[in-house]
Amino acid sequence: MDSRLGDDLAQIPELIDATSAYAVRILDGLAERPVARPPARREPLPLPAPGAGTRGALAAFAERWEPGFSAGAGSRYLGFVTGGCTPAALAGDWLTGVLDQNPTSGLDSTAPDLERETIAWLRELLGLPAALQGAFVSGATMSNFAGLAIAREWLGEQRGVSIAEHGTAALGPVHVLSGRAHSSVGKALSMLGLGRAALRPVDVLPTREAVDVSRLASALEALDGEPAIVVANAGTVNTGDFDDLRAIAALRDRHPFWLHVDAAFGAFAALSPGHAHLLDGLAEADSICVDLHKWLNVPYDSAIQLTRRRDLQTRVFQNSAAYLGSPGDDPDFVHLTPENSRRLRALAAWFTLAAYGREGHAEIVRRDLALASRLGERIAAMPAYRLLAPVRLNVVCFTLAGDPTGIGRVAQAVTDSGEAFLTTTVYDGVPALRAAFSSWRTTEDDVDRVAKALSRAC
Ligand SMILES: Cc1ncc(COP(=O)(O)O)c(C=O)c1O
């Protein structure tokens, strides 16, 4: 054994203590750490031949890399849609590495059952029926990818071919209809060989990001009975808007289509009595995307995908081999998602659900919703800014009251202040800023600090 490795093996408890003390210092400093670090390119150093041991690696990381890392796990990182990491999720994530399970095969441990239990808990948390079976993937993009892969197989079934067997050439033209699909849907269609051009945007309602259901009905009508895919959006990334899922699902009485719902973060609206109605009809979807590294507050990377058609899912993702066995009626995860081997992502989610339960997670969601409203009110009261949409969920979308092209400078000034991180977007042709609330750590004091940073930046 390499001497550094041997030395480390002999002092695992001390090394874990040292890493833990270092981690605690980072966590204690999160509130005052500049929220985002403008990236300064670092050139790679040569690979060390003799290594430095864990203590040496820790010292090198602390000196060279950690100071440039953002406070993404903190309370004022409002860019993209970024959750934090609850204490229990962190414990679960550490133990994921300690136990180093590969849950995709059911041959050697109970880890796959922990994953099944976690999915059942998530379903219960979000009020979804057991008919929707799930599996873990790395994020909402992969969840959309998996859902649309199953949809593609369904389209093949409608036309009497298996795309998993014969490839997309056997499918012919594909129509994917959506109001304001997230960019990851186009990416998924590209990866699936269906092509980004298969996505046909349908008009949204005036001043909204929700699809106009009558326009969607007309677009389906025009397909004249040809099966299609509809991607409904439950929580758009710019303004947290929701399609009318119940009305969309009802269109299946007249038109054949696979209903995929991107509820990456919007699914968690189920935990707020004032917002749960926005998800009315979600249970009728054929496949659903739910991200966990957003509003469940587990660390990257983690999401689930859910579907009613596990048979089609298995057709797409099965990986039969003599040493792995065949899928059978209750397939191992190796037959259900793109990866053959992966970490036990479910453990961090299991820990946070076991530690805080429905009530703890509902409190996080309700608090974030209240904080988004509070920031919305503060911005509406500032003459320099104007809201571009009402705060429907956890995203505040706004721009400058004057020339909106200056909003990029505002974003930069806020980042440079170290107080907060918000990301830019374009909403209905207008350059804008978005503040997305999804962290368990964020408080009213944080909103006040963000509002002050914004008022100084304009
Ligand atoms: C609605 C929606 N779908 C999909 C995604 C993609 O998520 P991920 O980056 O986890 O793949 C996002 C990310 O913000 C999103 O908001």
| Residue whose C-alpha is closest to residue 367's, from 303, 445, 453, 263 | 445
141 C-alpha to ligand 1 centroid (Å): 6
User: For residue 426, what are the β-bridge partners?
Assistant: 431
In terms of pLDDT, which residue wins out, 39 or 151? 151
260 lines ligand 1 (CB under 6 A): no
| C-beta separation of 305 from 146 below 8 A | yes
Decide whether any atom of ligand 1 lies within 6 Å of the 81 Cβ.
Answer: yes
Query: Is the pLDDT confidence value at 54 over 90?
Result: yes
User: What's the confidence (pLDDT) of residue 392?
Assistant: 98
Query: Which residue's CA is the closest to the ligand 1 atom numbered 8?
Result: 140
Distance 182 CA to ligand 1 centre (A): 7
In whole angstroms, how far apart are CA 71 and each of 34, 67, 292, 352? 7, 10, 19, 21
Does the structure show a pLDDT above 80 at 324? no
CB 348 within 8 A of CB 89: yes
Per-residue pLDDT of 208-230, as tens digits, reads 999 999 999 999 999 999 999 99
Distance from the alpha carbon of residue 293 to the mean position of ligand 1, in angstroms:
10
In this structure, the residue with its CA closest to atom 13 of ligand 1 is 81
Q: Which of 138, 237, 260 to mutate to test the pocket of ligand 1 (most atoms within 8 A of CB)?
A: 237
Enter the tokens of residue 323. 């040493």
Residue 389 and residue 208: Cα distance in Å, rounded? 8
- The finding on whether 300 has its CB within 6 A of some atom of ligand 1 is no
182 lines ligand 1 (CB under 6 A): yes
Residue type, 191: M
Confidence at residue 138, expressed as pLDDT on a 0 to 100 scale: 98
Query: What's the pLDDT at 192?
Result: 98
| Chain segment 369-386, per-residue pLDDT in tens | 999 999 999 999 999 999
Q: Is the pLDDT of residue 329 over 90?
A: no
pLDDT band at 117 (very low <50, low <70, confident <90, very high): very high
Evaluate: CB of 394 within 6 angstroms of ligand 1: no
399 lines ligand 1 (CB under 6 A): no
The candidate with the shortest Cα–Cα distance to 291, out of 19, 47, 48, 82, is: 82
Residue 112 has pLDDT above 80, yes or no: yes
Whether residue 38 has pLDDT greater than 90: no
Ligand 1 pocket mutation, candidates 77, 78, 80, 81, criterion most atoms within 8 A of CB: 81
- For residues 73-85, b (16+ Cβ closer than 10 Å) or e, as one string? bbbbbbbebbbbb
Atom of ligand 1 nearest to the CA of 142: 11
Residue nearest to ligand 1 atom 5, measured at CA: 140
User: For residue 185, what are its two tokens?
Assistant: 């849907």
pLDDT at 325 over 80: no
What the block records as the tokens of 141 is: 């993009």
pLDDT digits (tens, 9 = 90+) for 337-356: 999 999 999 999 999 999 99
Q: Express each pLDDT in 421-437 by its tens digit.
A: 999 999 999 999 999 99
Place 362 in a pLDDT band, splitting at 50, 70 and 90: very high
- The mean pLDDT of 126-150, rounded to a whole number, is 98
What does the pLDDT average to over 52-68? 97
Among 80, 141, 211, 242, which residue has the most ligand 1 atoms within 8 Å of its CB, making it the best to mutate?
A: 141
Task: Check if 237 has its Cβ closer than 6 Å to any atom of ligand 1.
Answer: yes
Q: What is the pLDDT of residue 203?
A: 98
Burial class (CB in 10 A: 0-12, 13-18, 19+), 229: buried
Least confident of 36-40, 42-46, 115-119: 36-40
Residue 319 has φ and ψ, to the nearest 5°, of: -135, 60
Query: What does the pLDDT read at residue 244?
Result: 99
Tell me what the pLDDT averaged over the chain comes to. 97
CA 230 to chain centre: 20
Ligand 1 in reach of 184 Cβ (< 6 A): yes
pLDDT digits 0-9 by tens, 285-321: 999 999 999 999 999 999 999 999 999 999 999 998 8
Work out the pLDDT band at 193, boundaries 50, 70, 90: very high
Nearest CA to ligand 1 atom 4: 140
Q: Is 90 helix (H, G, I), strand (E, B) or coil?
A: helix
Give residue 320's pLDDT.
Answer: 84
CA of 144 to the centre of ligand 1 (A): 9
The pLDDT value given to residue 87: 98
Q: What is the pLDDT of residue 428?
A: 95
- The answer to whether the CB of 434 is under 6 A from ligand 1 is no
Q: Atom of ligand 1 at shortest distance to CA of 294?
A: 10
How far is the centre of ligand 1, averaged over its atoms, from the C-alpha of 264 (Å)? 6
The C-alpha atoms of residue 82 and residue 139 are separated, in whole angstroms, by 12
53 lines ligand 1 (CB under 6 A): no
Distance CA 267, CA 123 (A): 10
Q: From ligand 1's centre to the CA of 183, what distance in Å?
A: 8
How far, CA to CA in Å, does 86 sit from each of 247, 272, 303?
36, 19, 16
Residue 139 CA: which ligand 1 atom is closest?
10
The answer, yes or no, to whether any atom of ligand 1 lies below 6 A from the CB of 185, is no
Residue 265 Cα to ligand 1 midpoint, Å, equals 8
Model pLDDT, residue 322: 83
